[in-house]
Copies of this chain bind each other. A is one copy, B any other.
Amino acid sequence: MSEEVICFESEVRVRFNETDPLGIVWHGNYISYFEDGREAFGRHHGISYLDQKKYGFATPIVKSECEHKLPLKYGEVAKIRTTFVDSSAAKMIFKYEILNAENNVVCTGKTVQVFVDKLGQGELWLTIPKFFEDWKRKVGLLK
């Protein structure tokens, strides 16, 4: 585990159709906000879905968790703080914090992704693919 913490902050504006009859964002839509955060992180740090695809990999989510602390309403603009969780496993792990305009934590979460080879037979990789090792080296997580 590296000392280095790599994170990225992006913004999301709540859509009207993401809110429910209680007037708040429907809980399942936070999974979409996590993906927004992860992809904003990925575009910034060069490890987005499209980057992975260039190397012949897809990284399906195998686990996601979400804890809700406060509601978000229509009209709010939230901040998504996405943090890469380093691990020696052949996995991509991210943690998320969603904050409202008053900087209060609305929701926290975590996702785990695995590496699937799209050029080959679609098999699951049990070791870290070279492109991901190279990426870790580039961002300072590996010497």
* Interface, chain A (partner B; CB < 8 A): 15-17, 19-24, 26-29, 31-32, 35-36, 39, 49-50, 58, 60-68, 71, 74-75
Contact = CB atoms under 8 A, between A and B. Distances in A.
A21 B63 contact: no
A15 B36 contact: yes
Contact of A21 (B20, B27, B39, B66): B20
Contacts of A66: 63-65
B61 A75 contact: no
Contacts of A27: 31, 60-61, 64
A61 B31 CA distance: 13
A67 B65 CA distance: 9
Contacts of A16: 20-21, 26, 35, 39, 49
